[in-house]
Structure formats: C-alpha cells, structure tokens
Amino acid sequence: MLLRTYQWSEALVRSGLMAARLLLATLFLTLCACGGGGGSTDNGSGSNGEVVDTQSAPSASIDPDDLEPTGNGNSDGDVGQDDIVDDSGRTEPPKTYELAGIYCSCGPTNSTSSSVFNNIEEAAYLDGVLVRIPWAEMEPSPGVYDWTLLDQQLGKAKAQGLHVTFALLNGYAAPPWLESEGADMLDYIFRGDIPRRLPIPWDETYLRYLTNFITALGARYSGEEALQLVHMTNSTTNGFEMQYFFDAQAEADFYAKGYSESVLINSWKRILDAYSQAFDDTRLDLDVHPVLGSPTVAEQVVAYGQAAIGARFGVFGAWWSRRNAEVAYPEMYSLLLSGAASSFAGVQLVGTASTRAYNEITREDLLDAIKFALQSGIYYIEVWNQDLLNTDISLQMGGFHTSVNNAIK
C-alpha cells in the first residue's frame, strides 16, 4: 500500500503518469489468454438493482503465466558507467495518495459477525478487508460512542498483516433513537418484502448527529496506519451506496418530504466536509450511482469532493462489471475514470462466481471484470470472500494481485 501526500499543482504531471500507466496496463493485459467462453444469458438483477450478468463476450480463463509484473524493475546484470545518472539537481516526482490492492468485500461486522473471518489467512493474495459496521452499534445512545467492534476488527486485521477500509453503515442502520430526537424518517420496502426506515438525508437533526459522530470517529482513528481508506456514506436504502431504490409509495413520500437534487447534494457536501476535517490525512471516497435515474447528484458530489478534498478523494463503484460500466452506468464509469486520473478509483465486484447467490456471476465475467478494472487504471478492487477462497481461480487471482500491487510503483 502506498500512502503519500499530494500537491494539486502537480495535476498535469499526474495525468501524464496516469496515461503512461494505462498504456502499460493495456499492453500487459493483452498478454492474457483470450478465447471462447460462455457466459450466462440470464440477465438477473443484483442486490443493488444493477445488471449482474453480461451478454458481452467474457474473457476466457487467464493463464497466470501471462500475468507478468508491470512495475518498474531493473534488468539483471551489472550496472555500467553509462548507467550512472547524476540526479543531484533532480526534483522529487509528485507525491500522491494512489491506492492499490485486492480487498475482501466481506460481510458486515456486528455483535454476532466479523468482517475479518477466521480462515482469512487462506487468501494469500489479499491486501485488506472492507469493514462495515452499523452506525446504531457504534452510537447506541445520543453522543455515546462504542468503539469496541472497530477496535476488534483493526486488531484482527493487523494480526494477519492486512489493511482495513472502513464504512459506516447508514440509512436503515442509523440509530433508531434519531426519531425520538426529532429526525424525520421515511418508511420503505427493501427488495420487495423487507420493511425498513431511514432518516431523511437532508434532515438537520440527522446531519448534526452524523457529523458529530464523524468528528469523534476521526479523533480516535485518524492516523491509524492500518486504516487505508474510508468509504463515506449517507442515508440511503442499503446504507452503503449512493442510490435509492424505492417502491412507488416510498418515492412519492421522499419527494413529499422535500427531495430535490440540490438538497441531497448539499447533504453530501456537509458529510464530505465532516470527513475531510476529521480524517485530514486519510484517503476518502464514496460510491457513485444514479439517484432516481439521474447522474446529476453523483457528478456534482464528485466535483465537490475533488475540489474540496483534493487527491485524498477518490471515486468508488460498488457495482463493478464490464457490462455495468459500459451499458448500465456509463456516466458513473466516466466518474471512475476521472477519479483514476486525478487521484484514485476503486471498485467492488457486483457479484460472486463461487456460490449460487442472488447476484451470481460467471467465473469468466468475474475475471473479465478485474481485467477491465486494470485496463481502466483502477487498482483498488474489492472481491467477495467466497471468490477469494475459491481454489479454482486462485492462480488467476494471484496473477491479478501481482499486477495490482505493481501498477503504481
């Protein structure tokens, strides 16, 4: 993992380096084996409403022997006099907050489950773990903070030599006492039959308690070496991603309570400001999705983050597949590319190829999604834990792991 400070005055140099790396990644990935492979033709809907399966041609099995490191290694042999360069007057290259690694998109942490699972050491090519904890568990009563779960997860990760990305589960996972404190709430149905409620994201009571919590969170964990990234969250239907997938009644109620793109954008700005102040030397990003069918909220929030936070701000897509990038969410893919060019971008695979889950994808599509991320200059990749432990793809995943970690050296 690389953690380096950044100056925006070097943006042009950074863009040139990014273009060079994209060219190297593209040349490297053409070495991967290609050929016929049959993906499923059943276009299901994933947990987040995006297309899980693809009908575009998936990659075939990728030979790990084709996955050579892409870093700047020196050739073997003696160094001759002609190789000695006088660099006494050379300035240091621009420092950045670039980020690379294969992370586990593990299940949330709560009082009965752990994101850092017991046999995680069996995933030898793993760099870190996504730790998601419900806000309600971390602030059980107003202004009373319980750091036990996050402390435990950081301890378990460090014991395995792993880094951590943290996300506060918000929305339905916000503290229920917010309502008694005066926060306006919205009832909705999740995935067709699960009744849930969330605080209105522009509600002042909600924002006051959330930003106070973020301040306390940063006071405790800002500067924690193992904490490589924080996914910033707002009050949304699944508590992690930007989008809202409402039934008709809930969407009508959302508008009746004052929804507009501008009020939601301002809510996000308050949250970004709070995280930036609380974690003043930590990478921060957020998931981008269309909001009620429009890309405007995501586009304006990303523009604000890039201007206000700078190179510590990245763009994240928790819906990643080639088809979703090219067909379902082309505007969001463009935001990922802008993040990769100016600072960093990351993705979470849209599904798993190793279990028959509601968002199952094919093995070929999984490998193609990672390959496409590398081609796009995206080197932070969250993979479902079932796939990290799948020995049938361990050679390919190991090759990708080498490529990811050499990409920004």
| pLDDT, tens digit, 9 for 90 and up, residues 193-231 | 999 999 999 999 999 999 999 999 999 999 999 999 999
Query: Is residue 49 pLDDT above 90, yes or no?
Result: no
246-273 pLDDT, tens digit each: 999 999 999 999 999 999 999 999 999 9
Say what the pLDDT of residue 207 is: 99
Query: Could you tell me which CATH number the domain at 28-61+93-406 has?
Result: 3.20.20.80
Contacts with 189 (C-beta within 8 Å, 6 or more apart), sequence order: 195, 196, 247, 250
Strands 194-199 and 185-190: antiparallel
- Of all helices (H) and strands (E), which one includes residue 382? strand 380-384
Say what the pLDDT of residue 89 is: 54
Question: pTM for the whole thing?
Answer: 0.80
Please state, in angstroms and rounded to a whole number, the distance separating the CA atoms of residues 193 and 138. Answer: 27
Give the confidence band of 161 by pLDDT, cuts at 50, 70, 90.
Answer: very high
Say what the pLDDT of residue 169 is: 99
Say what the pLDDT of residue 237 is: 97
Say what the pLDDT of residue 293 is: 97
Query: Is residue 332 pLDDT above 70, yes or no?
Result: yes
- Amino acid (1-letter code) at residue 107: G
Say what the pLDDT of residue 90 is: 52
52-80 pLDDT, tens digit each: 433 333 333 333 333 333 333 333 433 33
Please state, in angstroms and rounded to a whole number, the distance separating the CA atoms of residues 53 and 35. Answer: 19
Say what the pLDDT of residue 121 is: 83
